[in-house]
């Protein structure tokens, strides 16, 4: 008998899952209000100073036995909607916030009692992203996150005698046409740009690879990723100049380091997927911004790790710095930029990259 989902608030996890799936079966006409649906997601997502997370036990159960719930999350996130509709989710006149729940249902009553009065749409989307991202990162490795090779999931299931783990195929992650699904994620990113969404995009890029590239490059996603990649180090740099107590400084360092890994993973996957022309197009119009982000990350990541108390902080710093430096040197090399006015670390890495390309051609 499979293990049952556990919730942090003591609700029946299987019933919560069933209610959520049934409620968003028709994603244009949701079956319950945001308080109820937010309560379903909140039941599975624990909160910490580093943000929301799903327990390893629940991740394993969701991936093996609750494909419908995870598919429902991706359907909601990847259904293309006009940006006006997404912005309208927070409007008081929106049908999204109208409660028509049946309070004769004990579970519905409990969900309302255990959930903040009106979770905004960004709360809801953040929890959706958290659940999906957690299930794509089942065993985060030191430094670089690990994503299962989807094509091997059926093979591994057959060998182990277990159910196939989610995602069973790339289509589970981009359930609509890839371009449409990526545009939908871009619209959410435009409305609620978060580093957790950047992490999710990194995982999707690793699994779905080139199928999502054209829409990714032509969306608002490049602009938002670049903005976030520098902003988090700007926040850390400003906080270093303030008088913070020791515990607050450690907490800030832990948060910034964890969030920087999302951007680093995205840059790593981007470099592994695109060709030279596509990389230049991705950063078109944002070259100065990405170099500023790379520069401030290289200046701050080591100090950030020294302030954090995570056991793998130094490994994380090496991974993050390496990913940022790689993206900066690749752009510098591909655009054949001058050797003046750029960080010496970027120039040295760019020269090495050019030498390696020359050696390969020779």
Handedness of CA 206, 258, 11, 139 (dihedral sign): positive
Residue 139's pLDDT is 41
CA–CA separation, 263 and 195 (whole Å): 7
**Contact status, residue 306 vs residue 254, Cβ threshold 8 Å:** no
Residue 357 pLDDT class (50, 70, 90 cuts): confident
More confident residue, 14 or 138: 14
**Contact status, residue 54 vs residue 45, Cβ threshold 8 Å:** yes
Gyration radius (Cα) of the chain, Å: 21
Alpha carbon separation from 234 to 51, 160, 202, 292, 296 (Å, rounded): 19, 47, 22, 10, 7
What is the average pLDDT value for the chain, to the nearest integer? 86
- Those residues with Cβ within 8 angstroms of residue 131's Cβ, 6 or more apart along the chain or in another chain: 41, 44, 45, 54, 62, 69, 70, 73
- Cα torsion 63, 69, 71, 74 to 10°: value is -110
Whole-structure pTM over 0.95, yes or no? no
**Contact status, residue 196 vs residue 129, Cβ threshold 8 Å:** yes
Residue 56 pLDDT class (50, 70, 90 cuts): confident
Q: Which range, of 27-31, 83-87, 237-241, averages the lowest pLDDT?
A: 237-241
Helices (H), the chain: 13-23, 34-44, 56-65, 67-78, 83-88, 106-113, 121-136, 153-160, 178-191, 195-208, 213-217, 221-240, 246-273, 276-282, 287-307, 313-334, 344-361
**Contact status, residue 215 vs residue 228, Cβ threshold 8 Å:** no
Where along the chain do its domains lie?
Answer: 1-219, 222-362
Which residues are registered as beta bridge partners of 48? 51
Residue 144 pLDDT class (50, 70, 90 cuts): very low
CA–CA separation, 216 and 222 (whole Å): 8
- What percentage of the chain exceeds 70 in pLDDT? 88
More confident residue, 28 or 268: 268
Token digits for 202? 């990194």
Residue 67 pLDDT class (50, 70, 90 cuts): very high
| CA-based nearest residue to 283, from 351, 230, 357 | 230
Residue 65 pLDDT class (50, 70, 90 cuts): very high
pLDDT greater than 60 at residue 264: yes
């Amino acid at each position: 008998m499979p293990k049952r989902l556990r919730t942090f608030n003591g609700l029946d996890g299987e019933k919560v899952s069933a209610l959520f799936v049934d409620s968003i079966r028709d994603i244009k006409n949701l079956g319950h209000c945001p308080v109820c649906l937010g309560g379903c997601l909140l039941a599975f997502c624990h909160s910490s100073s580093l943000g929301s997370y799903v327990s390893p036990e629940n991740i394993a159960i969701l991936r093996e036995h609750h494909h419908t719930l995870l598919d429902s999350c991706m359907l909601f996130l990847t259904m293309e909607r006009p940006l006006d509709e997404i912005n309208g989710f927070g409007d008081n006149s929106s049908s999204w916030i109208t409660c028509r729940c049946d309070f004769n249902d004990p579970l519905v009553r409990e969900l309302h009692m255990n959930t903040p009065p009106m979770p905004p749409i960004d709360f809801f989307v953040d929890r959706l992203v958290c659940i999906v991202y957690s299930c794509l990162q089942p065993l985060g490795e030191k430094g670089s996150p690990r994503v299962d090779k989807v094509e091997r999931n059926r093979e591994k299931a057959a060998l182990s005698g277990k159910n196939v783990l989610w995602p069973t195929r790339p289509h589970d992650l981009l359930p609509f046409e890839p371009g449409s699904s990526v545009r939908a994620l871009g619209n959410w990113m435009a409305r609620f740009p978060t580093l957790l969404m950047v992490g999710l995009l990194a995982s999707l890029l690793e699994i779905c690879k080139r199928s999502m590239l054209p829409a990714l490059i032509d969306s608002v996603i490049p602009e938002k990723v670049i903005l976030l990649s520098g902003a988090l180090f700007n926040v850390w740099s400003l906080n270093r100049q303030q008088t913070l107590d020791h515990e607050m400084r450690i907490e800030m360092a832990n948060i910034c380091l964890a969030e920087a890994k999302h951007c680093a993973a995205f840059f790593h996957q981007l470099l592994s997927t695109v060709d030279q022309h596509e990389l230049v197009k991705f950063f078109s119009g944002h070259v100065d911004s990405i170099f500023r982000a790379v520069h401030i990350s290289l200046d701050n990541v080591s100090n950030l790790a020294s302030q954090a108390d995570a056991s793998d902080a130094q490994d994380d710093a090496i991974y993050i710095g390496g990913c940022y430096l790689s993206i900066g040197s690749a752009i510098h090399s591909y655009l054949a930029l001058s050797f003046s006015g750029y960080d010496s670390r970027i120039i040295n890495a760019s020269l090495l990259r050019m030498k390696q390309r020359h050696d390969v051609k020779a």
